[in-house]
Amino acid sequence: MPIEVKGLTHVYMPGTPFEARALNDVSLSIRDGEFIGIIGHTGSGKSTLIVHLNGLESSSPGVVFVNGVDLGLKETDLIAIRRTVGLVFQYPEYQLFEETVEKDVAFGPRNLGLSEDEIKARVADALRMVGLPQDVAGKSPFELSGGQKRRVAIAGVLAMQPSMLILDEPAAGLDPAGRREMLELIKGVHDTGVTVVMVSHSMDDVGRYCDRLYVLNRGEIAWYGTPAEVFIHEEQLHEIGLDVPECAKLARRLRKSGFDIPEGLYRTDDVCEAILRNLRKGSDATC
């Protein structure tokens, strides 16, 4: 199992008046090649959870395994783990600091002690993967748009060639077109065989891209499963401040009004097809 979390609990500032239990007995497993969504309201513990997945944070009680290695053991090589599990923070563009895009993306590979040729090749590959033209390499990151800067930051993580990529709200703050492009970019990375864990608070986004979801509420896993399995809990999700995708709502409403729409539909295409089937049936009956 690439990532396994068992009974993880994290308390910020324990024993002070500011004590906050951010995670409570969280367990999850992520399989090779999956695209996982972690979803929850602000403050539900999403960011706290993912910094445990590459050993940036450790907590007790709880165990985190990456490829079977217990991150809590003293002898575990956390630098090697962070090479395997790439982590993209929320608003990663604020962490760009080098004078050129090339230097920024090359920062990680250079620290690995790779040859200049290998570094160059990795930078070119990473820029290609995030859909940036090679001529941005010589530019200052500060000459770029917000969306492009974010791509540079992601390229810096991809240049380490991680086998798992974790992203904290990668589409946050982007306009609708930028959101879609960012999500397609991540899908492209997943298509190359990288296991992806994406934190989001958009049910539409995780419904469209993820194989399985974990829903966090007040530091606990409230539901998990395929999007269809999770979206069935529309009312309870609503109570914890989450909305199912618009199409799932429409499908449910039509089913309640007597249309023959199977349970668990949430993708636009599937819902359209089901509606068309009903309309065709209706017109056949009147012929």
Ligand X SMILES: Nc1ncnc2c1ncn2[C@@H]1O[C@H](COP(=O)(O)OP(=O)(O)O)[C@@H](O)[C@H]1O
Q: Which residues bind ligand X (CB under 6 A)?
A: 12-13, 20, 22, 40, 42-48
Task: Give the one entry of Mg ion, ligand X, none that residue 73 binds, where binding means its C-beta sits below a cut-off of 5 to 8 angstroms depending on kind.
Answer: none
Judged by CB under 5 A, the stretch of 46-54, 81-89, 99-107, 123-131 that binds Mg ion is 46-54
CB of 46 or CB of 103, closer to ligand X: 46
3-state secondary structure the chain: CCEEEEEEEEEECCCCCCCEEEEEEEEEEECCCCEEEEEECCCCCHHHHHCCCCCCCCCCCCEEEECCEECCCCCCCHHHHHHHEEEECCCHHHHCCCCCHHHHHHHHHHHCCCCHHHHHHHHHHHHHHCCCCHHHHHCCHHHCCHHHHHHHHHHHHHCCCCCEEEEECCCCCCCHHHHHHHHHHHHHHHHCCCEEEEEECCHHHHHHHCCEEEEEECCEEEEEECHHHHHCCHHHHHHCCCCCCHHHHHHHHHHHCCCCCCCCCCCHHHHHHHHHHHHHHHHHHHC
Minimum Å gap between C-beta 51 and ligand X is: 8
Minimum Å gap between C-beta 12 and ligand X is: 3
CB of 47 or CB of 100, closer to Mg ion: 47
Minimum Å gap between C-beta 168 and Mg ion is: 6
CB of 20 or CB of 56, closer to ligand X: 20
59 binds Mg ion (CB under 5 A): no
47 binds Mg ion (CB under 5 A): yes
CB of 40 or CB of 86, closer to ligand X: 40
Minimum Å gap between C-beta 192 and ligand X is: 27
29 binds Mg ion (CB under 5 A): no
Q: Which residues of this chain interact with Mg ion, rule CB under 5 A? A: 46-47
